Chains A and B, each alone.
Chain A
Amino acid sequence: MPSTRFTFTVSNLQNVHLTISTPKAILGYLFFCLLGIVAVPTLHAQKPEKSYIRRDHPEGTMYFIEPQAFKAEVRMADGQESSSKGVADFTLDYRDSTASVPSFFTVAFTLPSANALRQVDSAVLVAAGARLGATAVSERYFVEPKGKKWRNRYGARFEPGQGLRWLMGNPELELHLYSPGLVAVMRFGSSEQAIMRALGQVMAIETDLDQ
């Protein structure tokens, strides 16, 4: 069997020889690569402290939770159902009592769909089946084709208290989206919800906006 021999010289000691069979070395290297590719992004993504930005501005503080993955079930008016995967990020713009504009909580999401979303009528924050907030205020960031699908990115603005109570709510966090001829239910995974809950607590403690 072919082998690779490594020789190390350690001071005051005899030469140390390490012999590894070549197929094992190659397999070991590939396994190491695979482990790195799979484990590192997963471990990195599970840390709440790595998943948010806190920045002071003249009238308060802005908190930003980095994009979290969700799975969406999309139901069309003609009865067709499909599923897709997207990401959503969350911004709390906290303004103090002297500020000229109120605080707000924004959910910005990218939802792939078979048809372009021309507009979003309303969005609802749901936790464990209970509606915790609703809004009709949405902003279209962009709608663009990607392959055979469309990438629809919108921002939905909520009352900050509703947003924080939702983030800290029970498991099964959902964002429901209503658009002409389309209803989408976006569900977040357990690791994403854990991050959202932890960071929601950070924002609630620092701003008291959940009271």
Chain B
Amino acid sequence: MIKKAINTLLALAVVAVLLPGCGFSGMYGALYSDVTTPVEATANGVGSKVGTAEVTSILGLVATGDAGINEAAKNGGISKISHVDMHVMSILGLYAKYTVYVYGE
């Protein structure tokens, strides 16, 4: 019984460390990440507005939020997008925050 509990906890810990890297391309550390990477650029000129949207993950098990480009553009009042970046901050998979930055007019 106790061995089973330990195995479950260890499995959760491994999943928590590995999960935040899933689905993202680029350089991410399994132990610690604090990186910004490009997502997309358009032919529109650099704008004067920025909109952000984020998703937060706890223990790699529960994740909430909306980090879509549409949500970020809506938050910034942006209708013409010039480019999109994203920032990932993760420590041991225990806590991770994924933020999308949309630039435009």
- Interface on A for B, CB 8 Å cutoff? 2, 4, 22, 25-26, 29, 32-33, 36-37, 40-41, 44, 50, 53, 55, 57-58, 62, 64, 66-67, 89, 91, 93, 106, 108, 110, 139, 141-142, 153, 155
Q: Are B48 and A67 in contact (CB under 8 A)?
A: no
Q: Which range holds the interface residue count of chain B?
A: 20 to 34
**Which chain B positions have C-beta within 8 A of A22?**
2, 6
How many pairs of residues, A versus B, come closer than 8 Å at their CB atoms? 66
Contact A67 B95 (CB under 8 A): no
Query: With an 8 A cutoff between CB atoms, is B69 at the interface?
Result: no
Which of chain A's residues has its CB closest to B103's CB?
Answer: A55
Residues of B within 8 A of A (CB): 2, 5-6, 9, 13, 34, 45-50, 52, 58-59, 74-77, 89, 91-92, 94-95, 97, 101, 103
13 example contacts (A-B, Cβ-Cβ < 8 A) are as follows A26-B9, A29-B13, A33-B59, A36-B92, A37-B94, A40-B95, A44-B89, A55-B103, A57-B46, A57-B48, A67-B52, A89-B52, A153-B75
Task: Let me know if B77 and A41 touch, CB within 8 A.
Answer: no
Which residue on B lies nearest to A95, using beta carbons? Answer: B48
Residues B50 and A4 in contact, CB atoms below 8 Å apart: no
Q: Which residues of B contact A89 (CB under 8 A)?
A: 50, 52
The docked-state distance in angstroms from the alpha carbon of A95 to that of B47 is: 12
